[in-house]
Structure 1
Amino acid sequence: MSFKIILIYVLKSLGIIIGIIVLYAVLGFLLPFIEVSAKDDNEKKEIPIYIYTNGVHTDIVMPVKNELQDWSAKIPFSNTTSKNTDYNYVGIGWGDKGFYLDTPTWADLKFSTAVKAAFWLSESAMHTSFYKTMTEASDCKKIMISKTQYQNLVKFVDAKFDKDQNGNYILVPTNAVYSDNDAFYDAKGRYSFLDTCNTWANNALKSAGQKAALWTPTDYGIFIHYK
């Protein structure tokens, strides 16, 4: 095979790759603006939840315990460094295990981590964080939902946790926690550039009948609907 033919194949391959990247960027920018409307179940909206982002990952924040769900029974306070028991809220997010453990901020992102995360090459994890209070801001929005909507949300979130033979969440033994109030657990599914941590959070909102983007790989695509 001549050098010219090889060069043509290389250029075509690069063209395809660049085309995919451009298409992804365009869709990643445009599709989040298409809103999936909230579904009103005509029940009293009495349970507060929050969407919270650290600039990379979006979490769904819920009451630690109410009459419908006790998250502390599944996500023990004792699994955090602080081991405090006076937390009132728990934030839960799904994502790539390597991305979560090695990339608390964009500044920590490594090329190898990004490649593995983008192309289904590593495992996933649930990140859980406890909070005593929640304060609304540009990075934290409060949503009031009904009991039925909350039950649907709990079912959606719980289904993503990997479980042992006794149905318990599987703690990831690591020192790479973000603070003294969080912990990581094994999760189901594979992260990719099509199914990101923010895509999961967006789908969680859909499961609870709340406003969401048609599809989004970023936290921005979620929060534009809650300004």
Structure 2
Amino acid sequence: MAAPPLRRLIGRIARWTAIALAASAALFFLTVWIGSSIPRNPGWREPGEGVEIMVQSNGVHTALVVPLVAPERDWRPVFPAGDVALSGLPYTHLAISWGEREVFLNTPTWSDLSPVTVLRIVGIGGEGLLHVEHYVRPAPSEDLRPLRLTHGEYARLVAAIDRVVPQGQRVGHPGYGAQDVFYETGGHYTVRNTCNQWTSNTLAAAGVKTGWWTPMAGGVMKWVPHLER
């Protein structure tokens, strides 16, 4: 049994460690809030007409939902429906997102996320992976908010997405269901360059008003107008 002075020392170390961890977490979330509240493209206003996209969130991860066919891009040759198990539906939209390879492929639910994977991402990061879901006339909701862009802005959004579209020989992986698929695309996923940061960076490249640093889904969605009821 440890002597009383040693037990007191161990107790003090444990308390100060807990305080340091709590302070670090508080500082991180404060930095996230500040970073996501500083706007890029602050003068942007949603146009009255143009191309309607959607910004999707499940509370943790965000994606961009784009029309399957528009004057600026026909996505059918890029992400063919034949790549998903349920290929015969009359698809109208794609949900496109970028994220960490291990998390995408091996965590079908968040309860499957390993603490070891989290520590690795925080420490050294991971490899990027592209996720594409095929939708038929998705209905707007609070978690799937419409956002209108001019045709020029949408062309810039397409160009930004193109930067993560795999070139040449495709390497794909089955998705979570019958209507989605993963593609090897590369890129380095880090705490500073997360899936949600990719979403806001892509919107910013189009000229849309969004936050500077948005590692969390809420930092992206706070800039997307709520669904009118």
Alignment TM-score, normalising by the size of structure 2: 0.82
Equivalent of residue 137 in structure 1, options 127, 136, 141: 141
1:68-108 CA distance string (max 9 Å, x none) = 21111011101101112510000100110111112233222
- 1:20, CA displacement in angstroms? 5.2
Instruction: Provide the residue aligned with 1:204 in structure 2.
Output: 202
Alignment length (residue pairs) = 212
SS at match of 2:82: helix
- 1:38, CA displacement in angstroms? 5.0
Instruction: Provide the residue aligned with 2:44 in structure 1.
Output: 39
Q: Is the 8 A contact 2:127 2:188 kept in 1?
A: yes
In the alignment, the residues of structure 2 paired with residue 104 and residue 30 of structure 1 have an alpha-carbon distance, to the nearest angstrom, of 31
Q: Is 1:61 the equivalent of 2:65?
A: yes
Q: Is 1:190 the equivalent of 2:194?
A: no
Alignment TM-score, normalising by the size of structure 1: 0.82
More strand by share: 2
Q: Is 1:104 the equivalent of 2:83?
A: no
Instruction: Provide the residue aligned with 1:83 in structure 2.
Output: 87
- 1:30, CA displacement in angstroms? 2.7
* Alpha-carbon spacing, 1:98–1:133, altered in 2? closer, same or farther (3 Å): same
* Alpha-carbon spacing, 1:120–1:186, altered in 2? closer, same or farther (3 Å): farther
1:150-188 CA distance string (max 9 Å, x none) = 110011011023322xxx5x232x34x222110001123
Percent identical among aligned pairs is 25
- 1:119, CA displacement in angstroms? 3.2
Q: More displaced, 107-116 or 203-212? A: 107-116
> Greater CA radius of gyration, 1 or 2?
2
Q: Which runs of 5+ in 1 are unaligned?
A: 1-6
In the alignment, the residues of structure 2 paired with residue 160 and residue 137 of structure 1 have an alpha-carbon distance, to the nearest angstrom, of 27
SS at match of 1:123: strand
Instruction: Provide the residue aligned with 2:3 in structure 1.
Output: none
In the alignment, the residues of structure 1 paired with residue 97 and residue 133 of structure 2 have an alpha-carbon distance, to the nearest angstrom, of 9
